[in-house]
Amino acid sequence: MEYKIIDCDQHVIEPPDLWEKYLPKKFQEQAPKLVQDEDGGDAWLLGEHVEALGLVAAMHQTPETLKWTGTRYADMHPGITDPKGRLELMDEDGISAAVFFPPQRTMIHFMFQDDREFSLAAMQAYNNFVTDWVGFDRTRLGAIWQVPATGIDDAVKELLRAKQNDAVGVGLATWPCGEFLLSEDDDAFWAVAEELAMPVHIHVGLTPPQYKTRKISSKKGGPAQMVAFATTMSRMPTLFAEFIFNGVFERFPKLTIVGGEVGAGWVPFLKQELDDRYRRNRVWCEINLSMLPSEQLERNCKVGVVSDQFGVQNCDAVGVGTMMWCSDFPHHITNWPNSRYLINQMSQGIDAHKKRKIFCENAGRLYRFLP
């Protein structure tokens, strides 16, 4: 087929029967349970936390109607949970192919379970589900698998299993060894990811340890929520710097790290700052790189761009090869079914070759839709 727009970040909303079908029977009591939120919508009960669906299944919402609660599966378009319906929605939006990220709220819930066996089994259950889901049409649908947070051995095994099952990438919620700080123990994971040519994704950021003690009601809102939504890019500069200055890209020069849904307009400033601080501090900090930090970033890192006219218009400073477009469908920042209009607005005056790389070829080659 002819590929025109390739989307590097969509989401499957968990079908109501996912955990019943895919989670082993011994863990059914611990599985997420479908409940009602306070406005009569469907929600997932994750331990003690009720996670409503309004902002993650928001394709028909406007700023006036958008809210966290009150959304029901019965009212959703089938394409929210079903691959056949999703292809129809992609056609309506002009999207040739898409890659699908795990539902982070659910994966993070599993990550913080004290029962290590359940935590691993639950993430594997999701990975098995999404493999079957994209199997409906692998020429257009690609799966990102979730890496478990139960130790480096489990992380490497699931990475190998992802490759065997034709996943196009894997996603992290913590560092691969399951900790909240990068360590040399993670090198075993980076080595296998590099060998398999498997891109590693960090969706918005890694999960901080204080998330375990969070208190969440299903009616989210207020200044804290607005700050979180408006600063989705804030954690990625630090993470890219961690990889660079801890020598990960020196040891694994063919490793690819993807920052999902973080935009690109900030990247030129970060490249400038990385190079400046490296030149000033490399001797006494005992950091010796074979190329400038900015060059490592361009070689090893990519970012997903939803709506970032500044980033696209300054694509040469960002690095044309660094950028990939994403819709985040069906989450609340999606512009469905107007993605083509948005892309044309963002890319006015951009060379056609560069535009095709950003909105098609970069993702197409990374995820093997294109040769």
Q: How many CB atoms lie within 10 A of CB 333?
A: 15
Specify whether the CB–CB gap between 7 and 363 falls below 8 A. Answer: yes
pLDDT score recorded for residue 122: 98
Three-state DSSP class for residue 176: coil
Average predicted confidence (pLDDT) for the chain: 95
- Give the phi and the psi of residue 304 in degrees, each rounded to 5: -95, 130
In DSSP notation, 282-340 reads TTTTT---SS-HHHHHHHHEEEEESS-HHHHHTHHHH-GGGEEE---TTSTT--TT-HH
Give the pair of three-digit tokens for residue 269. Answer: 């400033």
- The pLDDT of residue 216: 47
Residue 222 has a pLDDT of: 86
Q: Are 101 and 9 in contact (CB under 8 A)?
A: yes
Alpha carbon separation from 47 to 17, 183, 186, 213 (Å, rounded) = 18, 30, 29, 12
Angle between helix 116-134 and helix 104-111 axes, rounded to 10 deg? 150
Asked if residue 365 has pLDDT above 50, the reply is yes
Q: What is the pLDDT of residue 49?
A: 86
- CA distance to 139, 256, 289, 295, per residue, from 249 (Å): 31, 9, 9, 11
Over its C-alpha atoms, the chain yields an Rg (Å, rounded) of: 20
Q: Of 183, 125, 173, which Cα lies nearest the Cα of 150?
A: 173
Pick the CATH number of 6-31+79-366 from 3.40.50.300, 3.40.50.1100, 3.30.70.2860, 3.20.20.140: 3.20.20.140
| Predicted pLDDT of residue 208 | 73
Of 100, 93, 123, 140, nearest to 12 (Cα)? 100
| pLDDT greater than 70 at residue 322 | yes
The pLDDT score that the predictor gives to residue 214 is 55
Q: Could you tell me which residues come within 8 angstroms of residue 88 by beta carbon, excluding any fewer than 6 positions away?
A: 79
State how far Cα 145 lies from the chain centre. 10
Q: What is the mean pLDDT of residues 55-62?
A: 91
Residue 277 has pLDDT above 90, yes or no: yes
- Express as a percent the part of the chain with pLDDT over 90: 90
Provide the pLDDT confidence category of residue 298 given band limits of 50, 70 and 90.
Answer: very high
- Tens digits of per-residue pLDDT, 167-218? 999 999 999 999 889 999 999 999 999 999 999 999 999 987 656 655 444 5
pLDDT of residue 217: 46
pLDDT number for residue 78: 96
Per-residue pLDDT tens digits for 104-156? 989 999 998 999 999 999 999 999 999 999 999 999 999 999 999 999 999 99
